[in-house]
């Protein structure tokens, strides 16, 4: 009798471990069907539907930094569902889950943009002077980078950038210093010929490393693009320098 119960007990344990071993592994973010649907919706310009899909991924998959990034970007740019508070939350979740990402600096800038949106919507605009000072500071930093890049291309010492910046204030380097033709030349702008399967989503990923510049590319090509979904094979798009 004892032998019978021992055998029965061992059988139950075996069945338990076998059933545990047959359970499906935890689904990764990129293998989640909702994530794939979200990307497909983005490619066709259906941003609201894409937002719903990426949100569903963040609720079910603990480690979903890419979905958090897309949700944050859409909450910041999608006019019909704009929510800078939620955008900041999802951007911070991305940084928490993927702190070593090359996109970290870009995401931090997006958080600052969302914070400005919140401040700008406060009644009476109590922080308008603060926002203006931030904008001027960002423009100054961007100008320094652009001038340094231009001088590097011309083979000039980059260390003299501070002097040029101080004398030009909010304008580009003078024609006498760098040459009028060089100042006007869009040294960073690129062109892209639309190929089969292209979308603004894919092109943004290719040139900027993420999909948050769809509107940026669209605005630069408004003269030839009636909508975000009107790409044509062989069409030449202007890819502006990263802001």
Q: Is residue 2 a part of any domain in this protein?
A: no
Q: Is residue 95 a part of any domain in this protein?
A: yes
Q: Which of 76, 96, 120 is the last residue of a domain?
A: 120
Angle between helices 128-154 and 161-168 (to 10 degrees): 130
Q: What is the CATH number of the domain that holds 70?
A: 1.25.40.10
Indicate whether 199 and 173 sit together in one domain.
Answer: no
| pLDDT number for residue 32 | 93
Q: Is residue 22 a part of any domain in this protein?
A: no
Q: Is residue 25 a part of any domain in this protein?
A: no
Q: Is residue 3 a part of any domain in this protein?
A: no
Indicate whether 39 and 68 sit together in one domain.
Answer: yes
Indicate whether 150 and 220 sit together in one domain.
Answer: no
| Closest listed residue to residue 56, CA positions, set 82, 37, 79, 83 | 37
> Residue 208 sits in which domain range?
190-239
Residue 42 token pair: 């983005």
| pLDDT number for residue 49 | 95
Indicate whether 52 and 92 sit together in one domain.
Answer: yes
Q: What is the CATH number of the domain that holds 220?
A: 3.10.350.10
| pLDDT number for residue 87 | 93
Residues in contact with 31: Cβ distance below 8 Å, sequence separation at least 6, in sequence order: none
| pLDDT number for residue 70 | 94
Q: Is residue 230 a part of any domain in this protein?
A: yes
| pLDDT number for residue 22 | 45
Give residue for tokens 């079910």: 60
Q: Report the alpha-carbon distance of residue 136 to residue 13 in Å, rounded.
A: 69
| Closest listed residue to residue 225, CA positions, set 42, 45, 81 | 45
Number of domains in the chain: 3
| pLDDT number for residue 185 | 42
| Closest listed residue to residue 187, CA positions, set 157, 153, 143, 162 | 153
Indicate whether 175 and 194 sit together in one domain.
Answer: no
Q: Report the alpha-carbon distance of residue 232 to residue 193 in Å, rounded.
A: 9
| pLDDT number for residue 181 | 42
Angle between helices 65-77 and 84-97 (to 10 degrees): 160
| pLDDT number for residue 34 | 94
Indicate whether 180 and 148 sit together in one domain.
Answer: yes
Indicate whether 161 and 217 sit together in one domain.
Answer: no
In the three-class reduction of DSSP (H, G, I as helix; E, B as strand; rest coil), residue 47 is classed as: helix
Q: What are phi and psi of 24, to 5 degrees?
A: -70, 145
| pLDDT number for residue 91 | 94
Indicate whether 234 and 158 sit together in one domain.
Answer: no
In the three-class reduction of DSSP (H, G, I as helix; E, B as strand; rest coil), residue 62 is classed as: coil
| pLDDT number for residue 157 | 58
Indicate whether 45 and 113 sit together in one domain.
Answer: yes
Q: Is residue 23 a part of any domain in this protein?
A: no
Q: What is the mean pLDDT of each run of 10 residues along the chain (243 residues)?
A: 47 50 63 94 93 94 93 92 92 91 90 84 57 58 63 55 44 48 53 83 81 80 81 84 77
Indicate whether 147 and 208 sit together in one domain.
Answer: no
Q: Is residue 24 a part of any domain in this protein?
A: no
Indicate whether 44 and 107 sit together in one domain.
Answer: yes
For residue 65, the tally of other CB atoms under 10 A from its CB is 21
Rounded to 10 degrees, what is the CA torsion of 114, 115, 121, 126? -160
E runs forming strands in the chain: 190-193, 236-239
């Amino acid at each position: 009798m004892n032998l019978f119960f021992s055998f029965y007990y061992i059988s139950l344990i075996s069945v338990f471990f076998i059933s545990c071993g047959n359970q499906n592994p935890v689904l990764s973010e990129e293998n989640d069907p909702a994530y794939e649907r979200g990307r497909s919706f983005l490619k066709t310009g259906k941003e609201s539907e894409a937002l719903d899909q990426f949100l569903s991924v963040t609720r079910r998959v603990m480690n979903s930094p890419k979905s958090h990034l897309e949700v944050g970007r859409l909450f910041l740019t999608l006019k019909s569902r704009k929510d800078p508070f939620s955008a900041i939350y999802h951007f911070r979740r991305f940084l928490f889950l993927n702190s070593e990402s090359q996109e970290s600096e870009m995401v931090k800038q997006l958080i600052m943009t969302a914070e400005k949106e919140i401040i700008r919507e406060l009644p009476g605009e109590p922080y308008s002077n603060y926002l203006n000072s931030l904008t001027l500071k960002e423009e100054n930093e961007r100008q320094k980078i652009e001038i340094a890049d231009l001088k590097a291309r011309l083979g000039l010492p980059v260390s003299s950038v501070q002097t040029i910046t101080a004398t030009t204030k909010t304008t580009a380097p003078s024609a006498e210093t760098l040459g009028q033709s060089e100042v006007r030349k869009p040294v960073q702008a690129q062109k892209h010929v639309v190929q089969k399967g292209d979308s603004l989503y894919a092109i943004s990923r290719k040139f900027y490393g993420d999909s948050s510049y769809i509107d940026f590319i669209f605005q630069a090509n408004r003269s030839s693009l009636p909508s975000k979904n009107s790409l044509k094979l062989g069409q030449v798009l202007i890819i502006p320098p990263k802001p």
